[in-house]
Amino acid sequence: MATAVNCNYNGKLITVNEAMNIKSSNEGMRALAFKCTECDNPVRPHRSGGKVSAHFEHLKRNPECSLSHSHAESNERESIGASDDWSTQELRAAVVAYVDMQRKNRDGQTQAGEVIQASMQNEWQIYGADGLPFLADSYEESLKLQAAQRPLIEKKLSDQGLVYLYAVAWPPQGLFTKKPISSAADLKSIKWRAYSPATARIADLVKAQPVTVQAAELSQALATGVVEATMTSGATGVDGKLYEHLKYYYDLQAWLPKNMVIVNRKAFDALDKATQDAVLKAAAAAEVRGLAASKRVDTESKAKLKANGMQVLEASSQLKADMKKVGETMLGEWLEKAGAEGQSLLSAYKR
């Protein structure tokens, strides 16, 4: 199930914002005027809010349409805490799939799903370790952290009736800015897009001015100077055409959030042993392919940023040192919440 950001209106394809304008002005508006681009059922525009970007919702859930979801499901995505930079259409669907599997009264409709680990940190702090800035700041370090997290997460999921299959890291997160940055001092008072608790805390620690802007409004915010800097991956920078408004990308590799693929334990146990083994073998192979694909996308994205006029730079030693201090502060705050489990994970990671 993906998230709809366009609909059909009187034979034309329009965006959420255009639908909002039509609705607010009552310009020829009538009931059921907005239609899904896939199933042609009635939809309504839904404003961005919390951590959910603007999108269309079906008036009535259509289980056969990949774009269909209800207002309740939107709220579930918001409550689970996924940041909008993480929430591509596929990942929003993955979060909903995870919520479905977590429901006590499982209806059997969802047997597997994909979710961003760090999006579930509010449920259990260990999920959020790979989202800690400047802890695991390379693909190599990300793999080490994953090896330390995995046994803990496998046990947690098993207790919830779920099986961990595999996980793959997103491309690393870097810093996009309008002006050159040589140290954290250069970030003071800069208008910094804060789209998650972590990015808001970074802004606070470097004394930037945090600005909450949803993904759907980011381009306009950049064009009008409402946002002057943001932390995200090179891949997101290409997708969002950040090079149209920002000039510098610092390849900090601040953190590499991971997606994990999970399956319902009852569904997995219902398979014969040979099929279970085949699934696990396929999962292991997918993890290897996924890592290679992530690295390739990271390399290609930085090349595309350069090709579109953006300066792709290594951070200065001073900026790296300053950001490392930010990371140490945030790690300490996380350990206070994670307790003994967090300390055990950190020790395993550093061995």
CA dist., res. 247 & res. 244, Å (int): 8
For the structural domain made of 111-351, what CATH number should be given? 3.40.190.170
Domain extent listing, the chain: 1-110, 111-351
pLDDT digits (tens, 9 = 90+) for 117-146: 888 888 899 999 999 999 999 999 999 999
Token pair recorded at residue 251: 């390849």
pLDDT digits (tens, 9 = 90+) for 243-285: 999 999 999 999 999 999 999 999 999 999 999 999 999 999 9
Any idea what DSSP says for residue 130? G
**In this structure, are residues 182 and 318 in contact, taking their beta carbons and an 8 Å threshold?**
yes
Q: How sure is the predictor about 325, in pLDDT bands with cuts at 50, 70 and 90?
A: very high
Could you give phi then psi for residue 38, rounded to 5 degrees?
A: -100, -50
- Once rounded to an integer, what is the mean pLDDT over residues 34-55? 75
Nearest CA to 313 out of 174, 188, 178, 184 is that of 174
Instruction: Tokens 């793999």: give the residue.
Output: 143
Whether residue 66 has pLDDT greater than 80:
no
Cβ count within 10 A of residue 327: 19
Global pTM reads: 0.71
Per-residue model confidence (pLDDT) at position 76: 37
Could you give phi then psi for residue 58, rounded to 5 degrees?
A: -75, 140
Per-residue model confidence (pLDDT) at position 52: 58
Average pLDDT, the chain: 84
